[in-house]
């Protein structure tokens, strides 16, 4: 069983209103974390997640935040500052574009995906380090970056740009972990495989994960809870010697 986080420690979860983010918010709250849920647009889903956390005995706060906008990120962290000392960041927010080949990508599409998936994660990590690093007077903490098995597979004919953005996240995890390892901060990553969320619907192919389930060695897709369980383990003291590593949660794919 994961340790109970000090009741005053806060975990920020970007993209925390649905799917893996919501499951992580619930799992973290059950382990004693106060959770700050960043959401881009679905206020109703964010409020429902806050209510679910509170009904389970936890504390939660929802803050509107498009991680592709630096001002939103600053507002998210400012709101979290009033909720308690930051102990964890889960860089979960991410987007995909419609299924397409590279030759059909527009510059605007690539810019948007990189701004949200890569720049947003960097800026959130920056703000977290400024608060958690012992170099800045912090108490240490954990950053968990959400990558994807797509970074290893390339996602040809679907969204190579998304896969490339997650490759950048893998590199961020390694480099940042080395920078802050002596400052009380661990940085780790998760590569989900085919998970039962609505991300494929946003790419115009809602049945993709079910259609490809046969390509998974375990012969099924994963659940958001299975990914969340791995995330909160990395946030826990049970993973106290894990940094710079990215864990595949993919059924062997």
- Which tens digit of pLDDT belongs to each residue from 175-189? 999 999 999 999 999
List own/partner pairs for 127-130 with CB under 8 A and 24 or more apart.
Answer: 127/73, 127/74, 127/77, 128/12, 128/77, 128/86, 128/89, 128/185, 129/176, 129/180, 129/183, 129/185
Q: Could you tell me the two tokens for 204?
A: 């115009």
Contact 244, 187 (CB under 8 A): yes
Tell me whether residue 4 is in a domain. Answer: no
Percent of the chain with pLDDT over 70: 92
Tell me whether residue 159 is in a domain. Answer: yes
Count of structural domains, the chain: 1
Contact 179, 133 (CB under 8 A): no
User: Would you call 159 a catalytic residue per the annotation?
Assistant: no
Tell me whether residue 186 is in a domain. Answer: yes
Tell me whether residue 42 is in a domain. Answer: yes
CATH classification of the domain holding 149: 3.40.50.720
Q: What confidence tier does 197 reach under pLDDT thresholds 50, 70, 90?
A: confident
How far is the C-alpha of 182 from the C-alpha of 144, rounded, in Å? 17
Q: Is the pLDDT of residue 2 over 50?
A: no
Compute the average pLDDT of residues 165-182. Answer: 98
Instruction: Give the residue with greater pLDDT, 229 vs 207.
Output: 229
Tell me whether residue 202 is in a domain. Answer: yes
Tell me whether residue 148 is in a domain. Answer: yes
| Mean per-residue pLDDT of the chain | 93
By CB atoms closer than 10 A (0-12, 13-18, 19+), residue 139 is middle
Residue 27: in which H helix or E strand, if any?
helix 19-30
Q: What confidence tier does 3 reach under pLDDT thresholds 50, 70, 90?
A: very low
Predicted confidence (pLDDT) per residue in 71-94, tens digit: 999 999 999 999 999 999 999 999
Q: Is the pLDDT of residue 5 over 70?
A: no
Q: Is the pLDDT of residue 206 over 80?
A: no
Tell me whether residue 2 is in a domain. Answer: no
3-state secondary structure of 90: strand
- Give the domain extent around 59: 10-249
């Amino acid at each position: 069983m994961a340790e109970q986080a000090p009741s005053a420690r806060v975990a920020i979860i970007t993209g925390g209103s649905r799917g893996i983010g919501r499951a992580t918010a619930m799992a973290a709250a059950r382990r004693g974390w106060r959770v700050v849920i960043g959401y881009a647009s679905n206020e109703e889903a964010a409020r429902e997640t806050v209510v679910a956390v509170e009904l389970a005995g936890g504390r939660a706060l929802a803050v509107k935040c498009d991680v592709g906008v630096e001002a939103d990120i600053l507002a998210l962290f400012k709101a979290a500052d009033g909720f308690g000392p930051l102990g964890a960041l889960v860089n979960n927010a991410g987007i995909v574009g419609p299924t397409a080949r590279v030759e059909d990508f527009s510059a605007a599409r690539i810019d948007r995906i990189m701004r949200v998936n890569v720049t947003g994660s960097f800026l959130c990590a920056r703000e977290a380090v400024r608060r958690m690093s012992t170099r800045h007077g912090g108490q240490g903490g954990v950053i968990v970056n959400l990558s994807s098995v797509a970074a290893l597979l390339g996602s040809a004919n679907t969204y190579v740009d998304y896969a490339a953005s997650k490759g950048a996240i893998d590199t961020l995890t390694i480099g940042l972990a080395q920078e802050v390892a002596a400052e009380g901060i661990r940085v780790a990553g998760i590569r989900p495989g085919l998970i039962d969320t609505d991300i494929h619907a946003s790419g115009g192919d809602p049945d993709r994960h079910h259609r490809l389930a046969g390509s998974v060695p375990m012969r099924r897709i994963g659940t958001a809870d299975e990914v969340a369980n791995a995330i909160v383990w990395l946030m826990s003291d049970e993973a106290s010697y894990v940094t710079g590593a990215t864990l595949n949660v993919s059924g062997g794919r």
